[in-house]
């Protein structure tokens, strides 16, 4: 299976538009037979993922070398 990696490590800010883009990318990746993996971002971004429970829906890793 192919991987689509979204690396959030250098992200300074994420709003609802960015979250929607990530979710749409995940849906398109799945439709194409790929798995989207998110590389964990800074603490505020990580908190946002936890609050809306995306950390339970998406595969999130600390380091892309884990893939």
The answer to whether 40 and 46 are in contact (CB under 8 A) is yes
Which tokens is 37 given? 């993996």
pLDDT of residue 67: 85
Closest CA to 1 of 49, 34, 41: 34
CATH number for 54: 3.30.750.24
Q: Are strands 59-61 and 2-7 parallel, antiparallel or unpaired?
A: unpaired
CA of residue 36 relative to chain centroid, distance: 7
- Answer yes or no: is pLDDT of 66 > 90: no
Q: What residues make up the domain containing 19? A: 2-66
What value does the mean pLDDT take over residues 46-61?
Answer: 94
Say whether 20 sits in a helix, a strand or coil: helix
Q: Count the domains in the chain.
A: 1
| pLDDT per residue as tens digits for the range 1-22 | 899 999 999 999 999 999 999 9
């Amino acid at each position: 299976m192919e991987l689509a990696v979204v690396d959030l490590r250098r992200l300074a800010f994420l709003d609802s538009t960015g979250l929607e883009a990530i979710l749409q990318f995940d849906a398109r990746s799945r439709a194409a037979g790929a798995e989207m993996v998110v590389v964990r971002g800074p603490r505020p971004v990580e908190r946002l993922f936890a609050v809306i429970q995306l950390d339970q829906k998406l595969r999130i890793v600390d380091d892309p070398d884990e893939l």
